[in-house]
């Protein structure tokens, strides 16, 4: 067997931008709704306008040998990009506008004949190797077709299996459990999860807008030990897509996150976890892609005592490894620590061998907004691609205001590397304590694009600042940068021993 195409269950989403054939066989495509412009505001009591979004296609299949893809766009195009560029996917465009792709191995990538918009997302998985027993009483199995189950609460030793072609409308909560698995090649769809409005927000108050509704994450874990999520696609999260809080021993592998267009729809956000591996995932989000946060504003400490946990166990976030991921960010940050850093210590983090194929805000970011001692963090072999014109994130001030009226700067350049200690009036904790960033390494960072790299280092005061940070082997369009004339560097007096070598 060289490939296996997953069946497509048609839903109310119907995008017809492409036809796709694999080894001459035409396949069905899925659809998702994504953000079309980086236009955001604090929660105003209602969701974003549909005019700020677009529908896209994605193809899902598995392969274990090379295949030939024929992609037929619905309308003519002038310039083609296939990202990540580092994958070096062989392709050609025929005289009649067909795109021929030779795919050697499993790969998550985008085909972009129209720039950032209307991209085809290709999720070519490795062949599944799941071992499940349909007679296992701890197995929750969903086959091809639509299933609307609402809230799904998993217990210890349970496996949720989404078979190929399954579309499961749900949100998942797991609390104080162990050995939980969510597996398969189906779709977990969060689009039918909506906000619970607590009160009418009538005043022009940012805090009121943020706090006047209850919104749930698509997949939420709390106080769990032993989590495995493998192979599924998660579509249209209301808020964070996968959110482990105070958990241990987590693996997220071959997961595709797509369709995040609503306010605060992050990808994988973790809070004070121990031993986490995220590998070979595709994450396209409106807000942050992969983010390590502290517990501030997320877990009531009384819950620790009620379940018999010593709160000090989860005062720390340790041992996070993110590797081999492809990231597309439509508003927020791509690989981030913070802004909430309510932890005594956040350390031993490694982000490596990842591609950021689209970005609007900071690509590699450590924003310490609370009191954590953030240290021993490495970003290694990270490839970032800037569009010729990067759409500038703008704030929508009224319902009637359009993105064009916000006057985005066509020469806007995102921050490539940002390390800061900074209090935020809404999202930092109630404590006046501030943290520190130390012993961070950014090594083998490759930027492509016409814009010069921007590096920003900012502290709060002489005690709460950033120090002992190394940027080693920074490249722009293949050229190693060694002179400050080659990049834009912003650094204040509270940042010491910042070395670019």
Could you list the beta-strand ranges (E) of 187-272.
Answer: 187-189, 196-197, 213-214, 219-222, 225-230, 233-235, 242-245, 248-253, 256-258, 268-271
The predicted structure's pLDDT at residue 203: 60
pLDDT in tens, 236-246: 999 999 999 99
Structural domains in the chain plus CATH codes = 3-126 (2.60.350.10), 139-500 (2.160.20.10)
Structure tokens at 173: 């909560």
Query: Cα separation of 178 and 166, whole Å?
Result: 25
CB 323 within 8 A of CB 335: no
- Residue 307's pLDDT band, with cuts at 50, 70 and 90, is low
Q: Helix, strand, coil proportions of the chain in percent (round to 5)?
A: 5, 50, 45
How much is the pTM?
A: 0.96
Name residues whose C-beta falls within 8 Å of residue 473's C-beta, 6 or more positions apart in sequence: 443, 444, 445, 480, 501
Residue written as token pair 């197995």: 139
The predicted structure's pLDDT at residue 314: 80
In the predicted structure, residue 117 carries a pLDDT above the cut 70 = yes
Query: Cα separation of 183 and 171, whole Å?
Result: 15
CB 180 within 8 A of CB 156: yes
Instruction: Supply the mean pLDDT for the chain.
Output: 94
Residues in the chain: 501
The predicted structure's pLDDT at residue 298: 45
26 forms beta bridges with 21
| Average pLDDT for 473-498 | 93
pLDDT in tens, 409-434: 999 999 999 999 998 877 777 677 89
């Amino acid at each position: 067997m060289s490939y296996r195409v997953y069946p497509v269950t048609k839903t109310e989403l119907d995008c017809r931008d492409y036809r796709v054939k694999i080894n001459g066989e035409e396949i069905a495509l899925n659809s998702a709704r994504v953000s079309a412009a980086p236009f955001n505001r604090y929660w105003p009591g209602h969701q974003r306008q549909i005019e700020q979004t677009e529908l896209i296609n994605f193809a899902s299949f598995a392969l274990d040998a090379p295949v030939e893809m024929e992609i037929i766009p619905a309308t003519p195009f002038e310039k083609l990009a296939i990202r990540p560029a580092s994958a070096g996917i062989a392709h050609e465009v025929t005289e009649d506008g067909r795109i021929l792709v030779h795919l050697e191995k499993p790969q998550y990538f985008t085909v972009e004949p129209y720039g950032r918009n209307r991209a085809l997302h290709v999720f070519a998985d490795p062949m599944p190797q799941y071992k499940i027993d349909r007679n296992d009483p701890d197995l929750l199995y969903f086959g091809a077709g639509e299933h609307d189950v609402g809230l799904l609460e998993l217990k210890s030793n349970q496996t949720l299996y989404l078979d190929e072609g399954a579309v499961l409308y749900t949100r998942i909560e797991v609390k104080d459990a162990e050995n939980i698995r969510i597996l398969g090649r189906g779709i977990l769809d969060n689009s039918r999860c909506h906000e619970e409005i607590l009160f009418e927000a009538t005043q022009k108050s940012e805090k009121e807008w943020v706090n006047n509704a209850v919104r749930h994450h698509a997949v939420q874990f709390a106080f769990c030990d032993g989590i495995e999520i493998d192979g599924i696609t998660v579509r249209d999260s209301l808020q964070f897509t996968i959110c482990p809080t105070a958990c241990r021993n987590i693996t997220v592998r071959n997961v595709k996150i797509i369709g995040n267009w609503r306010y605060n729809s992050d990808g994988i956000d973790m809070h004070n976890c121990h031993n986490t591996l995220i590998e070979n995932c595709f994450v396209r989000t409106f807000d942050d892609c992969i983010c390590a946060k502290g517990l501030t504003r997320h877990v009531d400490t009384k819950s620790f005592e009620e379940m018999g946990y010593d709160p000090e166990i989860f005062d720390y976030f340790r041992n996070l490894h993110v590797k081999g991921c492809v990231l597309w960010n439509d508003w927020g940050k791509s690989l981030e620590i913070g802004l909430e850093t309510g932890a005594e210590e956040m350390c031993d983090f490694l982000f490596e061998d990842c591609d950021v194929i689209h970005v609007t805000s900071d690509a590699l970011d450590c924003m310490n907004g609370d009191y954590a001692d953030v240290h021993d963090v490495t970003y290694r072999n990270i490839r970032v691609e800037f569009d010729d014109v990067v759409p500038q994130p703008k704030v929508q001030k009224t319902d009637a205001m359009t993105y064009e009226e916000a006057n985005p700067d066509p020469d806007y350049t995102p921050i490539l590397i940002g390390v800061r200690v900074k209090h935020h009036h809404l999202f930092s904790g109630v404590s006046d304590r501030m943290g520190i960033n130390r012993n961070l390494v950014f090594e083998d960072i490759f930027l492509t694009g016409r814009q010069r790299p921007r590096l920003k280092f900012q502290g709060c005061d002489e005690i709460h600042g950033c120090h002992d940070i190394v940027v080693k082997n920074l490249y722009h369009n293949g050229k190693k940068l060694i002179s400050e004339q080659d990049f834009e560097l912003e650094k204040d007096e509270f940042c010491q021993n910042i070395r670019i070598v």
